[in-house]
Amino acid sequence: TTTGLILFFQSGRPLGAGVRLGMGLRMNRTKGDEEEYWNSSKFKAFTFDDEDDELSQLKESKRAVNSLRDFVDDDDDDDDLERVSWSGEPVGSISWSIKETAGNSGSSHEGREQLKSRNSFSSYAQLPKPTSTYSLSSFFRGRTRPGSFQSLSDALSDTSAKSYAPELGRPKGEYRDYSNDWSPSDTVRRLRKGKVCSLERFRSLQDKLQLLEEAVSMHDGNVITAVLIFLKRTLSKEILFRELEVRQVALRHLIHFLKEIGDQKLLLDLFRFLDRTEELALSHYREHLNIRDPDKRKEFLKTCIGLPFSAEDSAHIQDHYTLLERQIIIEANDRHLESAGQTEIFRKHPRKASILNMPLVTTLFYSCFYHYTEAEGTFSSPINLKKTFKIPDKQYVLTALAARAKLRAWNDVDALFTTKNWLGYTKKRAPIGFHRVVEILHKNNAPVQILQEYVNLVEDVDTKLNLATKFKCHDVVIDTCRDLKDRQQLLAYRSKVDKGSAEEEKIDALLSSSQIRWKN
């Protein structure tokens, strides 16, 4: 009975015959006799309100509980769990206390037989060891305390079929979020849903590879990358490279990840292991981006020339090294000229930025802007750059035209398109087409006389009329309509010129002329 158990806990000794007899007589006593009995007894009943005596009582009962170490386990259970009795109610709850008290207040004979059977060593031998431990105070509160033992009632009533309940307020389905028994497939599914899931439980290589295969089969790049980060941290690079060599999807994800985080050393080791020499060379070449000092970058590029690039890439590496070498020389010389203040071009148009590490086209524009008239033998000469780096004619003409037009050097623009044949006759030729020349000139605010000259050089008639109309080259439009003998188009254009202008008078003179046979 409950009274018997309390007495057992208080004294730490089995119940004697006199005590059991007193328990039987107690049931026939009146209320007054019962109060007198308890006041005169050397034992004191446990009460929840008596907090002062609880600690001393627990110290005494601890010796009795410690004697049960052979029959209980001292492993801790999850603090988030509460022990559930056979009734399904958490231990220590109000409903459990009522049912437990009611169940123990039956006949004293049944209580004695039950206690007798529980105290037999043969019954103890058949009891399985519980996985959770509880202190005596936790027994009444229904909560666990790390490092403590189960109560006597729990130890005797425990069976192999244990029942657990989640902490109040937490959905039952979320309790397993904190367990370590997830399979690789379950773990991958949880990672895909964005839930926190520890991968540390996967210790063997087989488990880690199975986890990676599950992630790859899920076709989720984020999950694959998360697993690869775990493998990168927990495996040696030799084992990691060896296993990824036969898993190309995961290998591509790792290469992309290493490029994103800038782990150049591990990336080079990976390409070296895979014998991918060209990618190894390109990855090594990328390191020049992290070098700020021009001289150090130049020396680094020099070491890249002998790497196993493809034929086309090898030429680019060589050009890059040569270009940076030229830029260093040009920058030092122009900085000196600009600071001296004796060069007109630098006084009128101060430099806005350094030429170092600029692309080839930018370097050519810079050279055409500041060093257009220099001899071919100098490093800063545009012609020298064109020949050294084999710049195509179209690219060279476009860049030079933009630079000289920006300076409004129209004579240089004219000379750029003027060629002589073997008979000494001059002719204008544009490898980019004169319609593009007109657009670039107009963008740089070229005078109408210059625009008209180059609009007239456009071969296609419709394109010529459209450009002349767009840029208000009136003489070109009028002369083209006259040559086409298109009276209607000439009449339509008459309304677009200013009244009383020379262009209007020219149109009226053509329309009244009897020498022109108009088509309509």
Confidence at 164, pLDDT banded by 50, 70, 90: very low
Pick from 389, 373, 393, 392: which is nearest to 381 by CA?
373
pLDDT band at residue 146 using 50, 70 and 90 as cut-offs: very low
Domain hosting residue 251, numbered range: 184-275
- Residue 23 placed within a domain: no
Residue that wins the pLDDT comparison between 164 and 443: 443
Overall average pLDDT of the 394-398 stretch: 95
Q: Which residue has the higher pLDDT, 514 or 503?
A: 503
Question: 402: pLDDT confidence band, cut at 50, 70 and 90?
Answer: very high
Q: 9 in a domain, yes or no?
A: no
474 is a domain residue: no
Average pLDDT (314-331) is: 94
164 by DSSP, 3-state: which? strand
Give alpha helix (H) positions in 341-473.
Answer: 344-348, 360-370, 382-388, 393-406, 410-417, 434-443, 448-455, 461-470
Asked whether residue 368 falls in the same domain as residue 309, the answer is yes
| Together in a domain, 215 and 286 | no
Mean pLDDT over 355-364 rounds to: 94
User: Considering its fold, how many domains does the chain have in total?
Assistant: 2
Asked if residue 300 belongs to a domain, the reply is yes
Contact 148, 139 (CB under 8 A): no
Asked if 289 and 268 sit in the same domain, the reply is: no
Across residues 72-79, what is the average pLDDT? 45
Range 316-342 average pLDDT: 93
326 with 368, same domain? yes
Residue 138 has pLDDT above 50, yes or no: no
> pLDDT of 412-462, one tens digit each?
999 999 888 777 778 889 999 999 999 999 999 999 999 999 999 999 999
Distance CA 278, CA 309 (A): 5
- Whether 283 and 271 map to the same domain: the answer is no
pLDDT of residue 355: 93
Rounded mean pLDDT, 149-168: 43
Query: What pLDDT is recorded for position 129?
Result: 41
Give 10-49 pLDDT, tens digit per residue.
444 444 444 443 444 444 455 555 566 555 555 555 454 4
Percent with pLDDT over 90 in the chain: 35
Average pLDDT, the chain: 75
> Is residue 41 a part of any domain in this protein?
no
Least confident residue range of 82-96, 181-195, 207-221, 371-385 = 82-96
Q: Please check the confidence at residue 121 and state whether its pLDDT lies above 60.
A: no
Do 282 and 263 reside in the same domain of the chain? no
Give the residue-averaged pLDDT of 178-182.
59
Structure tokens at 303: 């070491």
What are the tens digits of pLDDT across the range 257-267? 988 888 888 88
Q: Give the model's pLDDT for residue 420.
A: 80
In this prediction, residue 148 has a pLDDT band, given cuts at 50, 70 and 90, of very low
pLDDT score at 76: 45
CA 452/CA 480 separation, integer angstroms? 12
Of 54-58, 67-71, 299-303, the least confident: 67-71
User: Are residues 282 and 387 both part of a single domain?
Assistant: yes
Residues 344, 378 share a domain: yes
Residue 498: what pLDDT?
Answer: 87
Torsions phi, psi of 320, nearest 5? -60, -45
For the cut 70, the answer to whether the pLDDT of residue 78 exceeds it is no
The band of 186, judged by pLDDT with boundaries at 50, 70 and 90, is confident
Q: What angle do CA 183, 186, 189 make, to 5 degrees?
A: 150
Lowest mean pLDDT among 63-72, 142-151, 190-199, 485-494: 142-151
Residues 258 and 306 in one domain: no
User: In this predicted structure, what is the pLDDT of residue 15?
Assistant: 45
How much is the pLDDT for 277?
A: 84
- The span from the first CA to the last CA of the chain, in angstroms, equals 127
Within this chain, do residues 266 and 353 fall inside the same structural domain, yes or no? no
Q: Is 179 exposed, middle or buried (0-12, 13-18, 19+ CB in 10 A)?
A: exposed
| Res 7: pLDDT | 40
Residue 318 lies in a domain: yes
pLDDT on residue 127 = 41
Please indicate whether residue 518 or residue 246 has the higher confidence score (pLDDT): 246
The residue out of 225, 250, 275 marking a domain boundary is: 275
Q: Based on the fold, state whether residues 285 and 321 are members of the same structural domain.
A: yes
Q: What is the pLDDT of residue 123?
A: 40
Q: What is the pLDDT of residue 422?
A: 74
CB contact set of 509 (below 8 Å; sequence gap of 6+):
none
**pLDDT for 94 beyond 60:** no
| Same domain membership, residue 198 and residue 294 | no
217 part of a folded domain: yes
Radius of gyration of the chain (CA): 49
Domain boundary among the residues 391, 409, 438 is at 391
Q: pTM for this structure?
A: 0.56
Neighbours of 341 (CB within 10 A): 9
- Give the residues across from 165 on adjacent strands: 82
Confidence of residue 329 (pLDDT cuts 50, 70, 90): very high
Q: Which of 233, 253, 275 is the last residue of a domain?
A: 275
Q: What pLDDT does 518 receive?
A: 80
pLDDT at 514: 76
Residue 457 belongs to some domain of the structure? no
Contact 487, 519 (CB under 8 A): yes
Contact (Cβ atoms closer than 8 angstroms) between residue 476 and residue 455 = yes
CB 432 within 8 A of CB 409: no
CB 472 within 8 A of CB 463: no
